[in-house]
Amino acid sequence: MRKEKKKKKTRNQKFSFGKYKFAAAARGVEESAWMETDLVEVAGKLLPPNPIPSLIYAMAFRRRVVIQNDHGEKLVGILHDTGSDELVIVCHGFQSSKERIPMVNLATAFEKEGISVFRFDFSGNGESEGSFQYGNYRRETDDLRAVVQYFHGKEHTVTAIIGHSKGGNVVLLYASKYRDIHMVVNISGRFNLERGIEGRLGRDFLQRIKQKGFIDVKNRRGKFEYRVTEESLMDRLTTEARAACLAIQDDCRVLTVHGSMDKIVPTEDALEFSKLIANHDLCIMEGADHDYTSHQDELASVVVNFVKDNPHLHKDKSKLQLCRKPDRGNYSRL
């Protein structure tokens, strides 16, 4: 009886593990990394024994997730599910979204390390429901709370919350109010919230908003962008970063990363966070701007290493070398 020749699988052929399908060549995964081996179940997913990070990345499952906040608004996000029970949440900044740098790059970096990530739009931003508000620090903290509670008990444990710019303030406010997350990363957050307003609203903004009740912000072409109400302005002015820092408990590790060439939020703000937060690591990234335009890889490396070297998960603290806790005014510079 004539034996049929076994068809050789090409690198571009699609393969399936459980519910996952991917092209072997799509993300540079070698067939030898997974072929001719029994599959094992890892966090409910079928994987080869001791899968390499590139394979986990190739098999990561991305899907749109909609979460309702306490105000009945739908928050839209993208879950990068690698099969790990660890989950990191990434928060965007002012007038930004989950699709902007560095949110996408950070999510991809964690995904490559086999750590699941969720990046989402705050209410009034991106795809999420609600109206955009100028201040909204407390409301966005509530949004983050809704997201954290959604994932608790859903095959994931939220191990870290990360925020860029205004999102950095939100994750710090969260840590000051709640006690369920023990690792926080503040990327270029603003300490002095009274600063930076005049640049957006113009001179005498307090007097003008008292008279009219609002200020309409326009771009350089004179096109309307958003309205700042007196209530939303006061939300920002009454948000106390100092009190929030002092309220963060010692068992919560905080990393602040700040670019030395940030022209939106001065580096001095990062130093203030360092002075007030008890369990704090500070990293000043040389040459980086507010969005880390030319320093995406460096930013991802610092943040991912900080999370991976979490002492709650690993007892060996010596691995954390990129950013050190300031000692007598010193801090690491990259």
DSSP assignments along 112-179, one per residue: HTT-EEEEEPPTTSTTS-S---S--HHHHHHHHHHHHHHHBTTTBEEEEEEEETHHHHHHHHHHHH-S
Answer yes or no: are the C-beta atoms of 134 and 331 closer than 8 Å. no
Three-class DSSP category at 24: coil
The C-alpha torsion from 227 through 230 and 236 to 238, rounded to 10°, is -170
pLDDT band at 153 (very low <50, low <70, confident <90, very high): confident
Average pLDDT over the chain reads 82
**170-205, pLDDT tens digit by residue?**
999 999 999 999 999 999 999 999 998 988 898 889
d(CA 135, CA 228): 8
**Cα three-residue angle 100-106-107, rounded to 5 degrees:** 90
Distances (CA, A) of 76 to 15, 53, 122, 137: 30, 27, 8, 18
% pLDDT > 70, the chain: 75
Beta bridge partners of 1: none
Q: What is the per-residue pLDDT for 4?
A: 52
- 296 falls in which pLDDT band (50, 70, 90)? very high
* Pairing mode of beta strands 157-164, 86-91: parallel
Q: What is the pLDDT of residue 126?
A: 96
Pairing of strands 280-285, 332-333: parallel
Query: Tokens for 212?
Result: 């009219």
pLDDT of residue 42: 46
pLDDT value, residue 87: 96
Cβ-contact 200, 191 below 8 angstroms: no
Looking at residue 256, its pLDDT comes to: 98
**Using 50, 70 and 90 to split pLDDT, how confident is the model at 310?**
low
Is the per-residue pLDDT at 24 higher than 90? no
Q: How many residues does the chain have?
A: 334
- Residue 57 clears pLDDT 60, i.e. is over it: no
Ranges 19-28, 34-43, 151-160, most confident: 151-160
Task: Write down the pLDDT at residue 317.
Answer: 39
Residue 187: the pLDDT is: 98
Report DSSP state, residue 2: P
Q: Percent of the chain at pLDDT above 90?
A: 65
Cα-based torsion angle of the residue sequence 332, 117, 247, 266 in order, rounded to the nearest 10 degrees: 40
30, pLDDT greater than 50: no
| 249 vs 311, more confident | 249
> If pLDDT is split at 50, 70 and 90, which confidence band does 2 have?
low
Mean per-residue pLDDT for 217-243?
A: 92
| pLDDT above 60: residue 20 | no
pTM of the model: 0.79
| Residue-level pLDDT at 330 | 41
Q: How far apart are CA 79 and CA 87, in angstroms?
A: 9
Max alpha carbon distance in the chain (Å)? Answer: 95
Strands 116-120 and 86-91, by their bridges, are: parallel
Q: What's the pLDDT at 196?
A: 86
Sign, CA dihedral 139-144-147-151, equals negative
Weakest-pLDDT range from 7-11, 62-66, 76-80: 7-11
> Which range, 16-25, 164-173, 199-208, has the best average confidence (pLDDT)?
164-173
- Crossing angle of helices 166-177 and 137-151, in 10° steps, is 70
